[in-house]
Structure 1
Amino acid sequence: MTAPAGHLVKGFPERVSVVEVGPRDGLQSEPQFVPTDRKIALVNGLIDAGIRHLEVTSFVSPRAVPQMRDAADVLAGIDRSKGAVLTALVPNARGADRAAEAGVDAMVVFMSASESHNLKNVNRTRAQSLEGFADIVRIASDADIPVYGAIATSFGCPFDGDVPVSSVVEIARAYRDMGITTLSLGDTTGMATPPVVQERCRALREAVPEADIALHFHNTRGVGLACVYAGLLEGVTRYEASIGGLGGCPFVPRATGNICTEDLVYMLSECGVETGVDLEKLIGVAQEAEAIIGRTLPGQVMKAGPRLQTASMDSVATANG
């Protein structure tokens, strides 16, 4: 296991949980179906590298998201001997029934803080989304499965622009009233900046102090890891990321992928924060993800390696003159 490379930055938590969302959020919009055995191998590789929380699939209609049509088979094939928590996105009661039958460790419900994006993303108003979650919570409760709540466009909407912090707080409180206190604030559009992250974290800490908050950033404008830095200073200890930087919401113009898991783990290690993840193994998984997708992925550390990785002088030409 890779130990932290740097001294702990003042004000940072000593340890954080890295939540891998690549197998679901990263693959969902890929046009070519990724074979089930390769999805399973990807998840098993992530677990072997030390990732202990993974969003592995979604129980949506196969017509709506063909890439996720093998959700139950993926779950059935994953090596669960190391105690990793496997979650899945569920949009409705039918999906919750399927997820419970497949044996997920937690279900994830999702909606947008922005009315416009919620209509575009799930074709429902926010009120309709919240109303529909009651059945999911009931099914999950009957099966003794926890439910997590994701709030998309928590930092901005591509259609409405700024999203009031009050909208995020309102949904977080609605989740809490349903018994959902594990929350994820989704960037979705890459509109988060460090000051906005600070504002949202502080508002939620005051309004819903019992909530366990995760942050989910995209690197659309190149400040994804800067937003993580802001979250760390606010004491947030859970971060969602995607191997190789896979992903991008299909209902957002100019969307790009999530922050890269291996880049996140590298930064945390250099800041002295423990993750329990083996960075070298994780880089290997990122390279495998790139081979599965068949194109260059945006991850940087998978290309450059860790900071102190050296090369032979003979491997580089010497300047003339």
Structure 2
Amino acid sequence: MTPTKVKIVEVGPRDGLQNEKEFVATETKIELVNRLSQAGLQNVESASFVSPKWVPQMADGAAVMAGIARRPGTIYSVLTPNMRGFEDALEAKADEVVIFGAASEAFSQKNINCSIAESIARFEPVAKAAKEAGVRLRGSISCSLGCPYQGEVPVASVVDVVERMKALGCDEIDIADTIGVGTAKRTREVLAAVSKVFPRERLSGHFHDTYGQAVANIYAALQEGIEIYHASVAGLGGCPYAKGATGNVATEDVVYLMNGLGIETGIDLDQLIEIGDFISRAIGKPSSSRAGRALLAKKRDGAAPCV
């Protein structure tokens, strides 16, 4: 069941940078997106069309989308919480819009001040408009493996939200471990359950590395036949609603894992570690990628090139 090829969705430019307190220059964001697509990333989450009041870092979404050099075959995704955001995404010529919900009632209330059912209902006009416009629709489900407020999230709750997202017409659905508490066993249980109600090949794993389990969880997901994974270059990111939650799993670490397993990604790891170094320097923070740091040091010491 383990796939021979996977798609990695790069979420660094959006999910990775959105919580940075110091504004990251628009030119830097554009260069980041361009370099990632040039390195072979097939899908880059590039911007977010949300209120600047709530996410000031993403206020330049339109400028980013206007400034990128679009690589043929690459999907450029944007987050769209409402119809205003969708209209902006359409104007920006986004290839895919992303809507989001949670598998935890407590998290839904804390995050977007409404119930799970209410949150999904809010996305109905966005989903309908996306379908009418021929734009890909992706649904992301937070706290699928645990919640900072209620603790354990029943598998049945995750399945329920997947079915709701499916009814909206989502082309792809992300199973997200927002606070990084998931384990390999729980990952397999959840993915085995949701793959019974939604096509396995259109499910994706989105893992954070708070407890150092993200790579292990990805390996477990591979055993369930999952072919799509989210990652953030240099391990950028976090969750403002989950204290202590670290960033997304580093793209460099995921590609290193896939290379070791002989699973095709289409991504140039050598370029990727340079990109991780570039964005880390740009925001003044060290890279969280273990593989990235090790391979960069090896490369600069004149050792054998990355494979």
2:45 corresponds to: 55
Query: What's the offset of the Cα at 1:286?
Result: 0.3
Select which of 7, 11, 21 maps to 2:11.
21
- What amino acid does structure 2 have at the position aligned with 1:75? M
1:259 equivalent in alignment to 2:249? yes
Deviations 1:102-139 (A, max 9, x none): 11001100011001111111222111111111110122
Mean CA deviation greater in 199-208 or 299-308: 299-308
Select which of 205, 216, 221 maps to 2:206.
216
Aligned length: 303
Name the CA distance, whole Å, in 2 between partners of 1:267 and 1:117. 31
1:139 corresponds to: 129
1:284 corresponds to: 274
Q: 1:61 to 1:307 in 2, by over 3 A?
A: closer
Query: What's the offset of the Cα at 1:69?
Result: 0.4
- What amino acid does structure 2 have at the position aligned with 1:277? I
* SS of alignment partner, residue 123 of structure 2: helix
Query: What's the offset of the Cα at 1:307?
Result: 11
1:173 corresponds to: 163
Q: Tell whether the 8 Å contact from 1:113 to 1:152 is kept in structure 2 after alignment.
A: yes
Name the CA distance, whole Å, in 1 between partners of 2:201 and 2:214. 23
Q: Tell whether the 8 Å contact from 1:87 to 1:106 is kept in structure 2 after alignment.
A: yes
Deviations 1:160-184 (A, max 9, x none): 1110011111111111112114100
Deviations 1:14-72 (A, max 9, x none): 11011100000000000011011100000101111111101111110011100000111
* SS of alignment partner, residue 151 of structure 1: strand
Name the CA distance, whole Å, in 1 between partners of 2:173 and 2:160. 13
Q: Tell whether the 8 Å contact from 1:33 to 1:67 is kept in structure 2 after alignment.
A: yes
Deviations 1:266-302 (A, max 9, x none): 1110111110000000000000010111011211122
Deviations 1:172-222 (A, max 9, x none): 111111211410001001011101110011101122347710000000001
What's the TM-score once normalised by structure 2's chain length?
Answer: 0.95
Q: Tell whether the 8 Å contact from 2:175 to 2:204 is kept in structure 1 after alignment.
A: yes
Q: CA RMSD in A?
A: 1.7
Mean CA deviation greater in 298-307 or 267-276: 298-307
1:236 equivalent in alignment to 2:234? no
Name the CA distance, whole Å, in 2 between partners of 1:27 and 1:283. 17
Q: 1:210 to 1:220 in 2, by over 3 A?
A: closer
Q: Tell whether the 8 Å contact from 2:273 to 2:296 is kept in structure 1 after alignment.
A: no
Identity among equivalent positions (%) equals 41
Query: What's the offset of the Cα at 1:150?
Result: 0.5
Q: Tell whether the 8 Å contact from 2:10 to 2:43 is kept in structure 1 after alignment.
A: yes
1:301 corresponds to: 291
1:67 equivalent in alignment to 2:57? yes
* SS of alignment partner, residue 167 of structure 2: helix
Name the CA distance, whole Å, in 1 between partners of 2:260 and 2:13. 26
Q: Unaligned regions of 5+ residues in structure 1, if any? A: 1-10, 314-321
2:94 corresponds to: 104
Q: Which has the larger radius of gyration?
A: 1
Deviations 1:75-96 (A, max 9, x none): 1111113321001111111111
What's the TM-score once normalised by structure 1's chain length?
Answer: 0.91
1:196 corresponds to: 186
1:272 corresponds to: 262
Name the CA distance, whole Å, in 2 between partners of 1:39 and 1:310. 25
Name the CA distance, whole Å, in 1 between partners of 2:7 and 2:71. 19
1:81 equivalent in alignment to 2:103? no
Q: Tell whether the 8 Å contact from 1:17 to 1:239 is kept in structure 2 after alignment.
A: yes
Select which of 248, 263, 276 maps to 2:238.
248
1:183 corresponds to: 173
- What amino acid does structure 1 have at the position aligned with 2:195? R
* SS of alignment partner, residue 215 of structure 1: strand
Q: 1:312 to 1:111 in 2, by over 3 A?
A: closer
Q: Tell whether the 8 Å contact from 1:40 to 1:77 is kept in structure 2 after alignment.
A: yes
Query: What's the offset of the Cα at 1:312?
Result: 6.9
Q: Tell whether the 8 Å contact from 1:175 to 1:181 is kept in structure 2 after alignment.
A: no
Name the CA distance, whole Å, in 2 between partners of 1:265 and 1:47. 15
* SS of alignment partner, residue 206 of structure 1: coil
1:160 corresponds to: 150
Q: Tell whether the 8 Å contact from 1:90 to 1:108 is kept in structure 2 after alignment.
A: yes
